[in-house]
Amino acid sequence: MKKVIWAGLVVIGMAACHSKPGGQDAASSTEAPAVAQGEIDSLKKAVLDAHDRVMPEMNPMGRLRNRLKEAAGRHPADSSQYRKARAQLAEAQDQMKNWMRQFKLPEDSSAAYQKDYLEDQHQMMQDIEKLTNRAIQQARQLLPQRDSSRAVE
């Protein structure tokens, strides 16, 4: 009987040696470090700030597209340039619309997942912002000054 008790105590002692204080075992030591809520809030703000810089350009881009269409009719020799600029504006608008439809912070997931999600969304918004700015710049360069100034008013 004494041997059984000693064997049980040895097993319990070994299990205790392999545990960390606070009830964490060795398997949990490989987990990613905790993500602070402040970091998530900061990333969310960065994503929404990028959105807020691009969103006001949606209507002016639509007007620029219309002006490019009109200019292509007046300048048939240059119509392929106008079509290309219109396509770039349309692509920027479509990407923004698609981004807005799919963006939803997964509130019920882990902080690490939320952080990864927001980092991806921030990169997407930065790419959309670059595309938007390039498309607007190209359209304005193609249009005579009076056309491009009317398009953004």
Confidence category of residue 10, pLDDT binned at 50, 70, 90: very low
Give residue 82's identity as a one-letter amino acid code. Y
The pLDDT value given to residue 16:
47
pLDDT score of 121 more than 60? yes
Q: pLDDT (tens digit, 9 = 90+) per residue, 44-91?
A: 999 999 999 999 999 999 999 999 999 888 888 878 999 999 999 999
Confidence category of residue 145, pLDDT binned at 50, 70, 90: low
Are 114 and 32 in contact by the 8 Å Cβ rule? The answer is: no
Q: Which two three-digit tokens encode residue 5?
A: 């008790």
- Percentage of residues in the chain with pLDDT exceeding 90? 58
Mean pLDDT, range 127-145, rounded to an integer: 92
pLDDT score of 116 more than 50? yes
Q: Measure the CA–CA gap between 20 and 26, rounded to whole angstroms.
A: 7
Q: CB atoms < 10 A from the CB of 148, how many?
A: 20
Of 42, 62, 51, 56, the C-alpha closest to 124 is: 51
The pLDDT value given to residue 8:
46
Q: pLDDT (tens digit, 9 = 90+) per residue, 18-38?
A: 444 444 444 444 455 677 889
